[in-house]
Chain A
Amino acid sequence: MAEVIWGLATSHVPSIGAAMDHGKTEDPYWRPLFDGYAPARAWMARHTPDVAVVIYNDHANALDMSVTPTFALGTAPSYRVADEGWGSRPVPVVTGAPEFSDHLVGSLVDASFDMTVYQELDVDHGLTVPLSVYCPDPGESWPCAVVPLLVNVIQYPQPTAARCLALGRALGEAIRSFPEDLKVAVFGTGGMSHQLAGARAGLINQDFDRMYLDAIEHAPEKLAALTREEYIREAGSEGIELIMWLIMRGALGPRIRRVHETYHVPASNTAAGMVLFENLGR
């Protein structure tokens, strides 16, 4: 049977990808962030999954606002890297896991999570930056196949944080019921606190972020109880992306071990956080 071997929560700021693509990771501005990633990257390199489920949101690249699925899953054999307006990132095409995706969709819909299904999807920085945070030098191909799980976080009403945690638990069950011996990693992406527009542009709430980094391990129910208004007020209009971390957390079992954590301000307009958990099973 398939098992979740680790979960990674990480910001997916586009400039983090751009810093890697343009060889700026040693610059004084970026170095503290990438130094912070190093121990987690070394650990993940020793624990390569067969498939990664990457929970993220699109940013006006593959999806437009004619349709806004609350939750969606990719079922394609491969996913092109989106051209967001300045050319595609120079990273490998993303290989899918269509049979595993089909199983996840079936299992989630049976569990009353009515997923939208994408047979075609270009993946933007929301997905590729976390893959680069995991694996900075993939060469010709990424180390694992990928299942994209999309969440609407850019148009209210976003799903509630409680619904995200519940989806994560159903996702964990769905993964564990797949009848092949797959090793699966789950990525929860986005955040941490940031707001791009309005009079509060540039908002960073370090106290909230530190609380979140701690509670995601010990008290995810506390984070699931926060309202969308509280996320927007405390973490900013784009900081509500943090609800996607709860899907990752829900997919892990109750017994987890914190492998590594790092937090850095700023990555352009955003507080960047990362926390890696080893799943110790049920």
Chain B
Amino acid sequence: MSSSTPQVPGTYVFDAAESRRGRALNRLCGSLKDAENRERFKADEAAYCDVYGLDAQQRDAVLSRDWTRMMDLGGSIFYVFKLAMVDEKSMQYLGGVFTGMTTEEFAEALRAGGRSFG
């Protein structure tokens, strides 16, 4: 993160430096909007990661579906979500993962008016 980028607790502020750090990961995730690429990915996920030049940490995070780690390694939620869609996971599923809740608990928190932070 650049020194001029605001820091907000509990929040990823995705900036140009993060975009550079997460470039390979985000390119891979973005490619999955195309059906052909999804098939290629599913056939051999590790080889697909190598084609996109992911480093070892990003590769592990993708292969183990460690969503928080992907975000920590420069992932942008709009790209990472493309990978979640391959697994047929919703944004509410991801919200649960990020906050330590089940999908149902997370969805219920939103139905109850959303999560409030003073």
Judged by DSSP, the binding face of A is loop
Q: Is A112 in contact with chain B by the CB < 8 A criterion? A: no
Report how far A132 CA is from B80 CA in the complex, Å.
Answer: 26
Report how far A200 CA is from B114 CA in the complex, Å.
Answer: 10
Q: Is A83 in contact with chain B by the CB < 8 A criterion? A: yes
Cβ contact within 8 Å between A196 and B91: yes
Q: Is B11 in contact with chain A by the CB < 8 A criterion? A: yes
Quick one: closest B residue to A228, CB to CB?
A: B6
How many chain B residues have a CB neighbour from A under 8 Å?
Answer: 48
Judged by DSSP, the binding face of B is helix
Cβ contact within 8 Å between A196 and B77: yes
Cβ contact within 8 Å between A198 and B71: yes
Q: Is B46 in contact with chain A by the CB < 8 A criterion? A: no
Q: Is B76 in contact with chain A by the CB < 8 A criterion? A: yes
Contacts of A227 in B (CB 8 A): 6
27 contacts between A and B (CB under 8 A): A68-B16, A83-B33, A154-B78, A155-B15, A155-B16, A155-B76, A156-B5, A157-B5, A198-B12, A199-B11, A199-B99, A200-B11, A200-B117, A201-B98, A201-B99, A201-B106, A203-B114, A203-B116, A204-B114, A227-B6, A233-B8, A233-B11, A236-B11, A237-B12, A265-B110, A268-B91, A269-B110
Interface centre among B14, B30, B95 (most CB of A within 10 A): B95
Name B91's contact: one of A60, A61, A269 (CB within 8 Å).
Answer: A269
Report how far A228 CA is from B4 CA in the complex, Å.
Answer: 12
The residues of A with any CB-CB pair to B shorter than 8 Å are: 59-61, 64-65, 68, 83-86, 154-157, 193, 195-206, 227-229, 232-233, 236-238, 265-266, 268-269, 271
The residues of B with any CB-CB pair to A shorter than 8 Å are: 2, 4-6, 8-16, 19, 23, 26-27, 29-30, 32-34, 38, 71, 76-82, 85, 90-92, 94-95, 98-99, 106, 109-111, 113-117
Q: Would you give the shortest CB distance from B15 to chain A, in whole angstroms?
A: 4
Question: A269 with B8: in contact, given A155-B16, A156-B14 (CB under 8 Å)?
Answer: no
Report how far A162 CA is from B100 CA in the complex, Å.
Answer: 37
Q: Would you give the shortest CB distance from B99 to chain A, in whole angstroms?
A: 5
Report how far A268 CA is from B111 CA in the complex, Å.
Answer: 9
Q: Would you give the shortest CB distance from A11 to chain B, in whole angstroms?
A: 13
Cβ contact within 8 Å between A197 and B26: no
Cβ contact within 8 Å between B12 and A60: no
Cβ contact within 8 Å between B33 and A84: yes
Cβ contact within 8 Å between B15 and A65: no
